[in-house]
């Protein structure tokens, strides 16, 4: 089985200092780029997170402060990473809820205007959970009949994720070999921002998915309570969420002026 592609897709995995999208940093990133003609290229970088790596995190992925002390920062690598993924769709394991939001944060901190308006993302974990409900190691054993002996190495996890998706396409005839369809199937909800604080409602309008305004249209809230916008901008929300909310506010202002 080969992926049917109309544009490249980059499978990627991150190892990080922790699981807080807004605060934690990348310590390793691996990308496997698949081209429509079947060609592949892969790159893996160790990253100096410019903050201490908690021992609990090092115990999972084996990356310590000493190991990354002389490695480049993400800001130094950001243009090279972006050049590899900018023309591609994305694929990963739990990528919609963690890897993509955290990568977006790192890109924005590095002043790279990362956006996914013309990009779709396939979350292999979601396909797996909808079909079988297991972990990546179990998925690799179940679909590929292989042991994931180097789990929590970004490169091993990236390669395993790609192989699992190919096997999923072989196993499930009703799973369409089309990146856009796979992205739709593997998404949990239609989010406007990566972290899911703002989602699309049934009318295709932006809606808050959290807090006291959960279920309300963003435009209505910004109109009735302008201070809510300032509160989000000054609170501990992901940078990409703030960027999306600012774009919505500016769009509303331009419509008024128009």
Structure confidence by residue, pLDDT tens digits, 113-149: 988 888 999 999 999 888 876 789 989 999 999 999 8
202 and 181, same domain (yes or no):
no
What pLDDT score was predicted for residue 144? 95
Q: Give domain status of residue 88, yes or no.
A: yes
Domain termination site, one of 132, 164, 186: 186
As a whole number of Å, the end-to-end CA separation of the chain is 51
**What are 67-102's pLDDT values in tens digits?**
999 999 999 999 999 999 999 999 999 999 899 999
131 and 224, same domain (yes or no):
no
Instruction: For residue 143, give its domain range.
Output: 9-186
H or E stretch including 27? strand 26-34
Q: Among 127, 104, 139, which residue's Cα sits nearest to residue 184?
A: 127
32 and 100, same domain (yes or no):
yes
User: How many domains in the chain?
Assistant: 2
DSSP tag of 64: -
71 and 175, same domain (yes or no):
yes
146 and 251, same domain (yes or no):
no
DSSP tag of 191: B
Q: Which ranges of the chain does DSSP label H, i.e. alpha helix?
A: 55-61, 65-68, 74-85, 100-109, 124-131, 136-144, 154-171, 179-186, 218-224, 227-234, 239-257
Q: Give domain status of residue 3, yes or no.
A: no
161 and 237, same domain (yes or no):
no
Q: Give domain status of residue 101, yes or no.
A: yes
126 and 229, same domain (yes or no):
no
60 and 182, same domain (yes or no):
yes
Mean pLDDT of the chain: 92
**What are 241-258's pLDDT values in tens digits?**
999 999 999 987 766 665
Instruction: Say what the pTM is.
Output: 0.71
Query: Is the confidence at residue 44, as pLDDT, over 70?
Result: yes
Percent of the chain with pLDDT over 90: 79
Residue 123 and residue 93 in contact, taking contact as beta carbons nearer than 8 Å: yes
């Amino acid at each position: 089985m080969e992926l049917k592609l109309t544009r490249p897709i980059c499978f990627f995995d991150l190892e990080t200092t922790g699981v807080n999208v807004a605060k934690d940093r990348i310590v390793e990133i691996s990308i496997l780029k698949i081209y429509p003609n079947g060609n592949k290229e892969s790159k893996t970088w160790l990253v100096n997170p410019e903050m201490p790596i908690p021992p609990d995190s090092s115990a999972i992925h084996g990356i310590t402060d000493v190991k990354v002390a002389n490695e480049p920062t993400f800001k130094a690598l950001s243009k090279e990473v972006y050049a590899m993924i900018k023309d591609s769709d994305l694929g990963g394991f739990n990528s919609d809820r963690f890897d993509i939001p955290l990568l977006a944060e790192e890109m924005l901190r590095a002043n790279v205007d990362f956006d996914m308006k013309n990009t779709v993302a396939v979350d292999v974990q979601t396909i797996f959970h909808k079909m079988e409900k297991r972990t990546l190691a179990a998925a690799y054993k179940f679909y590929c009949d292989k042991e994931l002996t180097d789990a929590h190495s970004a490169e091993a996890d990236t390669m395993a994720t790609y192989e699992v998706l190919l096997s999923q396409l072989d196993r499930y005839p009703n799973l369409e070999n089309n990146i856009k369809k796979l992205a739709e199937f593997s998404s949990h909800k239609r989010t406007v921002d990566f972290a899911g604080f703002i989602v699309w409602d049934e009318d295709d309008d932006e809606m808050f998915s959290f807090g006291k305004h959960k279920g309300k249209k963003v435009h209505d809230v910004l109109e009735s309570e302008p201070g809510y916008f300032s509160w989000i901008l000054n609170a501990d929300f992901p940078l990409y969420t703030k960027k999306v909310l600012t774009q919505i506010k500016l769009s509303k202002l331009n419509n008024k002026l128009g």
